[in-house]
Amino acid sequence: MKATITLHREFSIGQADRRLYGSFIEHLGRAVYNGIYEPGHPQADDKGFRKDVLKLVRELDVPIVRYPGGNFVSGYNWEDGIGPVDKRPVRQDLAWMTLEPNKVGVNEFAEWCKRAKSDVMYAVNLGSRGADAARNIVEYCNFPKGTYWSDLRRKHGVKNPHNIKLWCLGNEMDGPWQICRRTAREYGRVAAEAAKVMKWTDESIELVVCGSSNARMPTFGSWEAEVLDHTWEHADYLSLHTYFGNADGDTPNFLGRSLEMDAFIKSVAGICDYIKAKKHSKKQVYLSFDEWNVWFHSHNQDKKMEKWLEAPPILEDIYTMEDALVVGCMLITLLKNADRVKIACLAQLVNVIAPIMTETGGGAWRQSIYYPFMHASAYGRGTVLSGPVKSGKYDSKEYSEIPYLETVSVLNEEKNKLTIFAVNRNLKESLDLEANLYDMGNLKLIEHITLNNKDLKAANSAKGEKVKPELISGAKLENSNGKARLEARLPPASWNVLRFSL
Ligand code: AHR
């Protein structure tokens, strides 16, 4: 099977915002406790953070980490997580029916982020709480000194403000599972007022308002329009969330799901444009895809989990080769929409539907999905290029005209590098890729990395990696008269990274 792509330096979609490679840590399962934080572990640092986990997080180069939820945040009192640890309350977490010991709060998490070389993206509680708690935490975190909350932070040993720039106004407020769910009008109003006083507290912050929990919500579309109508003046970004699964084992259909993600992004961008037109506004509200991943493996076992445990092993999906392909297609989709999507968070980062897993008291290891994320984060920074793609297509149960080749390219002008990301969705046949690359100067092929395994259900574990990238040879590159022509063979069901120097 053959496929062709044509690229030119001018075929630019826009700059890939570095925050596209964000992630997410929620107070959920073993993400915080026995994930990033495990005092007493042989790898624990002076603050109880696992150094082996930090090393893997830094390897992913994650610029922002959303925190502390997720569903958890809608019942969270942020004040429970500050001050002397031995005085902090243990609370019931009604989002996940677990116990929250509050040993980690905003100060500890901000410190962890520093060590991970990430910035905090903080979500405030607009479920059980509102504008007052929201503006207080902005003051606690960002005001230098001389007020009640900023001086309290200093009393807690944090002299300099955290300067958290990015704030989420609640989480999935349309969902019936949410603690204190709201209608679009209720949420729109509280989000607008919280946003107003948060920006009065610190005018430099940026705010994300909640879109629908996913595109299949019955109020999808009208929710976005009504919420934006209320919050337009204050909103910088509108959130999107999506999780995909393959519970029925229909892999060709599963691999097509990124088409749904693409349609979702385009619809939400259209709604932003509609409200912009309606308000005769010049402002642009961008998109924050702040939860995305594959999530389905752990659903059944989690239903059997005992309630009111501290850090139970829930949402611990073990990811397979085919999950890594879907994650690869989702990353390509985010890049293809880089003109509208400025923030994205792989949900989540450690133990909970995560690329990084830990054994309590033991080692840390990389899941299959770790690798496409790592490659995109490392090589997907710069100008996103997308040109005409000729590829065979197939239909599946839910989608039609799914191209066998999913691809996007990124030109890093600072480093003089070009990277082609490509997924071959064909489960049986290799794809002979021809890429015609114009106006790039003389190109040199650095490497062709591939991730593939004949067993699509192969997964990594603490014992070893069955799904890991390897270099393959055979790709040919010819330069002539300002045009380069690449020929490369993409193995069946594979994620590929073709890297060139300019
Ligand atoms: O990431 C897991 C959960 O998925 C989050 O808490 C919630 O926002 C979403 O439903």
- Give the 3-state secondary structure of residue 141: helix
What lies within 8 Å, CB to CB, of 6 at 6+ separation is 387, 388, 435, 436, 438
Mutate to test the pocket of ligand 1, among 66, 243, 348 (most ligand atoms within 8 A of CB): 243
For residue 443, the model assigns a pLDDT of 95
Residue nearest to atom 1 of ligand 1 (CA): 347
> Of the candidates 2, 102, 49, which has an alpha carbon nearest to the alpha carbon of residue 405?
2
Distance CA 66, CA 70 (A): 9
Tell me which DSSP letter residue 243 carries: E
Residue nearest to atom 6 of ligand 1 (CA): 70
How many angstroms separate the alpha carbon of residue 448 from the centre of ligand 1? 35
Residues 44-74 pLDDT 10s: 999 999 999 999 999 999 999 999 999 999 9
For residue 416, the model assigns a pLDDT of 96
Structure tokens at 279: 């308000």
Structure tokens at 135: 């503006």
Selected catalytic residue, list 108, 291, 322, 406? 291
For residue 481, the model assigns a pLDDT of 86
For residue 482, the model assigns a pLDDT of 83
CB 193 within 8 A of CB 131: yes
Active site residue 139: no
Ranges of H-type helices in 156-304: 184-201, 222-231, 251-255, 257-278, 299-303
Q: Is the predicted pLDDT of residue 298 greater than 90, yes or no?
A: yes
Q: What does the pLDDT average to over 199-212?
A: 98
Query: In the chain, what are the helix, strand and coil shares in percent, each to the nearest 5?
Result: 30, 30, 45
Residues 339-364 pLDDT 10s: 999 999 999 999 999 999 999 999 99
- Ligand 1 nearest-atom number relative to CA 24: 1
Q: Report residue 221's pLDDT band, with 50, 70 and 90 as the boundaries.
A: very high
Please report, in angstroms and rounded to a whole number, the separation of the first and last CA atoms in the chain: 29
Distance CA 330, CA 310 (A): 33
- Ligand 1 nearest-atom number relative to CA 96: 6
Residue nearest to atom 7 of ligand 1 (CA): 70
Distance CA 71, CA 173 (A): 9
Single pTM value for the model: 0.98
**Which amino acids bring their CB within 6 angstroms of ligand 1?**
26, 69-71, 171-172, 291, 347-348
- Ligand 1 nearest-atom number relative to CA 171: 8
- How many residues in total does the chain contain? 502
Residues 474-500 pLDDT 10s: 999 999 988 999 999 999 999 999 999
> Of the candidates 255, 223, 261, 262, which has an alpha carbon nearest to the alpha carbon of residue 242?
261
- Ligand 1 nearest-atom number relative to CA 291: 1
Structure tokens at 280: 């005769």
Q: Which amino acid is at 299?
A: H
Selected catalytic residue, list 79, 108, 172, 193? 172
